[in-house]
Structure 1
Amino acid sequence: MTKSPPESSPPESLSSQTGLQLVLMRHAKSDWADEDLSDHDRPLNKRGLRDAPRMARWIAESGLLPTHILCSSATRTQQTAMLMQSYWDNTKLETAHLHVIPELYLAPGDAILEIVCNDFANSIENSGNQPRTVLVLAHNPGISYAASALLEHAIGLSTAAMVAFRCDIPRWSVPLTAENTRYLAEMKPKGLDRDARPQT
Structure 2
Amino acid sequence: MKRLTLIRHAKSAWGDPALDDFDRPLNSRGKTAAPRMGEHLARDGLCPDLIVSSPAKRARKTARLIARELDYPAEAILYRQQIYEAELDTLIELVHGLPEEEHVMLVGHNPGMSELGQWFNPEAPDWLPTCAVLTLELDIGAWQNAACGSGVIGRYDYPKKAR
Q: Mark yes or no: TM-score above 0.5.
A: yes
| Partner residue in 1 for 2:130 | 159
Match of 1:75 in 2: 57
**Shift of residue 176, structure 1, vs aligned partner:** 3.3
How many Å separate the matches in 1 of 2:45 and 2:85?
28
CA distance in 1 between partners of 2:19 and 2:137 (Å): 38
Give secondary structure in 2 for the equivalent of 1:183: strand
1:186 aligns with 2:159: no
Give the Cα separation in 1 of the matches to 2:51 and 2:77: 5
Separation (CA, whole Å) in 2 of partners of 1:113 and 1:26: 16
Which residue does the alignment assign to 1:88?
70
Contact (CA 8 Å) 1:21, 1:64: kept in 2 or not?
Answer: no
Given the alignment, which residue of 145, 148, 154 partners 1:177? 148
Partners of 2:92 and 2:7 lie apart in 1 by: 13
Q: Which has the larger radius of gyration?
A: 1
Deviation at 1:107, TM superposition (A): 0.5
RMSD of aligned C-alpha atoms?
1.5
Q: Which runs of 5+ in 1 are unaligned?
A: 1-18, 125-129, 194-200
Residues 49-60 of structure 1: pairs in structure 2 closer than 5 A: 49-60=31-42
1:137 corresponds in structure 2 to 107
Q: Matches of 2:126 and 2:10 in 1, distance apart?
A: 17
Residue-pair matches, total:
161
Contact 2:35 2:69 in 1 (8 A): yes
Identity of aligned residues (%): 34
- The 4+ residue runs of structure 1 with deviation greater than 6 A are none
Instruction: Encode CA deviations 1:6-27: one digit per residue, 9 max, x unaligned.
Output: xxxxxxxxxxxxx211011100
Corresponding residue of 2:118: 148
Q: Normalising by the residue count of structure 2, what TM-score does the alignment of the two structures yield?
A: 0.92
Q: Which residue of 2 aligns with 1:197?
A: none
2: distance between equivalents of 1:73 and 1:141? 16
With structure 1 as the length reference, what TM-score do the two structures score? 0.75
| Partners of 2:132 and 2:159 within 8 A in 1 | yes
Distance 2:152 2:51 in 1: 20
